[in-house]
Amino acid sequence: MTPLTGFAPDAEVTTPGLLTNCDNLIPYLNGMEGAPSPATPANTPALAAACIGAAVVSKLDDTRRIIAGTTTKLYELVAGAWTDVSRVGNYNGGVDTRWSITQFGDATLCANRADVIQRSTSGVFADVATAPKAEVIFTVGAFVMALNLNDGSEKPDGWACSAAFDDTNWTPNIATQATAGRLVATAGRLTAGMRLGEYAVAYKARSIYLGQYVGAPTVWNWLQVPGGEAGCIGKEAICDIGGAHFFVGDDNFWIFDGTRPIPVADGTVRQWFFDNCSPQYRYRTICSFDKQKNLVWVFFPSNSSSTPDSALVFHVIAKKWGVANRAIEAALNYVQQGVTIDGLSAYSATIDGLAPYSFDSQFWLQGGRAMAVFDTSHQLQSMTGPAAASSMTTGDVGDDYTVTTLNGIRLRYAQAPSAASAQVFIQQNSGVGFAATGTGAVLDGKFDVRQTARWHKATFTFAGPVRITHMDAILTKAGMR
């Protein structure tokens, strides 16, 4: 049987095992599976307004804070309620404002470029008096790094770092090593940034800079990374996948491990993505890494949307793609509070009424980490629920010179769905278009059909959780048995 190689609409359609279309079907190491449905954590109400940035941060004693921001406020999830922890006077966000959130020791820091950097060790946030306004902030080594600044004047290509081991001090001084500079070797503003080991990485739309700590007086030495015009299109179009960055550029999807950026979508989904993603709002793409499953979720605005409403999913080990469209406001890695026997009543008054999640799901586990989103109702939801309906369309099977009879298609399941059906198609000559023929249920992993043509393909629809590893078409030359 032929192993499934994932969603690859850019590839040659006769490639064995590829899928030319799929919906709510994502890769796992050995095949494809139904995408998880959103699950609302217990005692988690909706946010008061659209979420424009959120994070789970850990303090030095391993206690966690869940911070979410709106255009004018910052909130913390405390005892089942979103508590307003905004500074006095609220914030001045606009249409494209997004929060960047990081943790430095016990201090949580937030930046939105409309206001100076915000700081809180607990409770309400306050201005860091000497800090600039910044588009992106992150921690690296003994410093907090800020990119795309306004420190009284506009410096979209500017960077700054706090004093060593002191996130409250941003006044340039050789003694404290607080300093600032600009990255002007290439055109454009700084769009994104992230720590990579002990390096700081700053991205423009078409270039990358690697920053290395060298001590006073220079403090940080920046080198432009070779690799053509690879860069990141937006502040959230990037995620850390463990030892490397995955990011979306103007011309490809990339992985950068500190040496050279490597494209990962050529011949699979690159052209499909740029054909289906809004050119005007592509910079609003949001990437999130599900470490438990080795999956990168790429949420992007479709051609008919100004906000993320579609999603590609990439398995970083298997190098396969899938599709699981979701309309979201923000993404984060949520840490579950866990459930005890005594606490089950918060979910249901009866055992039969409990959520239908397997008991090894991250939904139930204390400290369980799961990819999560804020949906368009401002509700935090973890992606831990059971899979709903999903579908996939095969590539083309056949030959330009031989008429064949398709007698059946067999799927190999690692987990069989509760129900499955199929629609098959035929095409006599390549390029003229496929015509639908038989439909029916998939029974015992096999769909029985009898149709004759040079080319064949099929669409399968699944109900409930499913895992498919292989497929096989039973073909014979027409007129033979």
CATH code of 70's domain = 2.130.10.10
- Judge if 75 and 199 occupy the same domain: yes
- Judge if 419 and 349 occupy the same domain: no
- Judge if 331 and 419 occupy the same domain: no
- Judge if 441 and 305 occupy the same domain: no
pTM (2 d.p.): 0.91
Average pLDDT of the segment spanning 183-193: 97
User: Total domain count for the chain?
Assistant: 2
Q: Which domain holds residue 423?
A: 2-35+389-477
Do 436 and 409 form a contact (C-beta atoms < 8 A)?
no
| Confidence check: pLDDT of 194 > 60 | yes
Neighbour tally for 353: CB within 10 Å: 9
Position 170 scores a pLDDT of 98
| Confidence check: pLDDT of 55 > 50 | yes
d(CA 390, CA 37): 11
Which is more confident, 362 or 468? 468
The domain boundary, picked from 385, 409, 438, lies at 385
Three-state DSSP class for 48? coil
- Judge if 333 and 402 occupy the same domain: no
Do 267 and 11 form a contact (C-beta atoms < 8 A)?
yes
| Confidence check: pLDDT of 338 > 60 | no
If pLDDT is split at 50, 70 and 90, which confidence band does 43 have?
Answer: confident
The rounded mean pLDDT for the chain is 92
| Confidence check: pLDDT of 356 > 50 | no
- CATH number of residue 19's parent domain: 2.60.120
| Confidence check: pLDDT of 431 > 60 | yes
- Judge if 42 and 29 occupy the same domain: no
- Judge if 42 and 11 occupy the same domain: no
| Confidence check: pLDDT of 162 > 60 | yes
Residues whose CB falls within 8 Å of the CB of residue 286, separated by 6 or more in sequence, listed in order: 236, 237, 298, 299, 300, 308, 328, 330, 331
- Judge if 404 and 462 occupy the same domain: yes
Residues whose CB falls within 8 Å of the CB of residue 433, separated by 6 or more in sequence, listed in order: 427
Residues whose CB falls within 8 Å of the CB of residue 43, separated by 6 or more in sequence, listed in order: 79, 80, 346
- Judge if 351 and 442 occupy the same domain: no
Position 257 scores a pLDDT of 96
The set of long-range contacts for 269-275, using a CB threshold of 8 Å and a minimum separation of 24, is 269/7, 269/8, 269/9, 269/10, 269/312, 269/321, 270/10, 271/9, 271/10, 272/9, 272/10, 273/298, 273/300, 273/312
d(CA 161, CA 181): 9
Average pLDDT of the segment spanning 229-245: 96
The domain boundary, picked from 356, 385, 414, lies at 385
d(CA 171, CA 151): 11
d(CA 221, CA 197): 15
- Judge if 376 and 399 occupy the same domain: no
Position 462 scores a pLDDT of 97
| Confidence check: pLDDT of 350 > 70 | no
If pLDDT is split at 50, 70 and 90, which confidence band does 324 have?
Answer: very high
- Judge if 404 and 378 occupy the same domain: no
If pLDDT is split at 50, 70 and 90, which confidence band does 333 have?
Answer: confident
Written as six digits, the tokens of 165 are 């081991």
The domain boundary, picked from 338, 363, 385, lies at 385
Position 479 scores a pLDDT of 65
Closest CA to 287 of 262, 258, 316: 316
Do 212 and 221 form a contact (C-beta atoms < 8 A)?
yes
Position 316 scores a pLDDT of 97
Written as six digits, the tokens of 441 are 């249920």
- Judge if 150 and 121 occupy the same domain: yes
If pLDDT is split at 50, 70 and 90, which confidence band does 340 have?
Answer: very low
Average pLDDT of the segment spanning 340-344: 48
Position 106 scores a pLDDT of 97
